[in-house]
Amino acid sequence: MQGQLGGALGRHVLLEAYGCKAEVLDSVKGVEKTMIDAALAAGAEIREVAFHKFSPQGVSGVVVISESHLAIHTWPELGYAAIDVFTCGESVNPWDAVNYLIEMFGAESVTANEVKRGIFQGDMTVKVS
Amino acid sequence: MQGQLGGALGRHVLLEAYGCKAEVLDSVKGVEKTMIDAALAAGAEIREVAFHKFSPQGVSGVVVISESHLAIHTWPELGYAAIDVFTCGESVNPWDAVNYLIEMFGAESVTANEVKRGIFQGDMTVKVS
């Protein structure tokens, strides 16, 4: 149960996508479809979907998957999106979704960092003190 | 527009809560209420709420707020919850929600790290190259 997880329960990629087209980031239907398709591209199982369009611009939304979640917040006026891809277990690789999203949003520049979530050292009896 | 944001668009706290009571983490209604109340405790405006109960145990859910989102995934069998509190703007402090959640979930041990999201250096014209 080590592998890519390195003893953690999950892998959480924080993706900053810059230089995206404003009209892409301002379409709630388009952003929702892309986020769902990214989850599916990683082989995740979708459980809940909730998106919201802001006025005058911007989209926020989440896709809850069996393996955790994907989330996005867009600033079309800045060409920027803050994206999270958090997956648990060995069967899904968050980077598959991340790479899909970078391509679909046409980001000119990105930073992406993976954070391990739920690190249990030694026994699993919770008392970390 | 600097202040706590330090030139970023948002502040994202990744909270690891260990040593929580299993029954608290396994109640979808209870977890949902606590997450909503945490958003309100920080003065956030709630836009969308989506929670899911897993079988045999565990809860996943998100609260989309005008200022970004809160998310949670629980492992009742481990007494562990992975929690995200992501807020944008100066009017909401993510740590108000984080402190509320630590207290309400009765975590015995936590780690929490703040990550700045959407960092624009120099001008705001997106081309970061």
Residues forming a β-bridge with B60: B52, B73
Q: Is residue A41 part of a domain?
A: yes
Average pLDDT over residues A99-110: 97
Average pLDDT over residues A69-74: 98
Residues of B in contact with A16 (CB under 8 A): 117-119
Per-residue pLDDT tens for A28-60?
999 999 999 999 999 999 999 999 999 999 999
Q: What is the CATH number of the domain that holds B41?
A: 3.60.90.10
Whether the predicted pLDDT of B61 surpasses 90: yes
Task: In whole angstroms, give the CA distance from residue A27 to residue B28.
Answer: 31
Mutate to test the interface with A, among B64, B102, B110 (most CBs of A within 10 A): B64
**What is the amino acid identity at position A88?**
C
Comparing CB atoms, the residue among A52, A118, A124 nearest residue B47 is A52
Report the residue of chain B nearest A61, measured CA to CA. Answer: B64
Active-site residue, A68 included:
yes
SS3 A98: helix
Q: Is residue B128 part of a domain?
A: no
Q: What is the pLDDT of residue B121?
A: 73
Domain count, chain A: 1
Peptide bond into B76 cis (omega under 30): no
Q: Is residue B60 part of a domain?
A: yes
Average pLDDT over residues B12-32: 98
Average pLDDT over residues B30-43: 98
Q: Is residue A128 part of a domain?
A: no
**Chain B stretch 25-44, residues whose beta carbon is closer than 8 A to a beta carbon of chain A:** none
Q: What is the pLDDT of residue B1?
A: 40
Mutate to test the interface with B, among A5, A15, A16 (most CBs of B within 10 A): A16
Q: Is residue B113 part of a domain?
A: yes
Active-site residue, B91 included:
no
Q: Which domain holds residue B79?
A: 3-117
Q: Is residue A74 part of a domain?
A: yes
Task: In whole angstroms, give the CA distance from residue B43 to residue B85.
Answer: 13
Closest CA to A12 of A129, A97, A74, A122: A97
Per-residue pLDDT band at A105 (split at 50, 70, 90):
very high
Q: Is residue A126 part of a domain?
A: no
Question: What would the two tokens of residue A15 be?
Answer: 């993706």
Per-residue pLDDT tens for B83-112?
999 999 999 999 999 999 999 999 999 999
Q: What is the ipTM of this complex?
A: 0.91
State pTM to two decimals.
Answer: 0.92
Q: Is residue B129 part of a domain?
A: no
Q: What is the pLDDT of residue B7?
A: 86
The alpha-carbon gap from B65 to the nearest alpha carbon of chain A, in Å, equals: 8
Flag whether residue B95 sits within 8 Å of chain A, measured between CB atoms: no
Q: What is the pLDDT of residue B18?
A: 97
Are β-strands B80-88 and B8-18 bridged in parallel, bridged antiparallel, or unpaired? antiparallel
Contact B64 A60 (CB under 8 A): yes
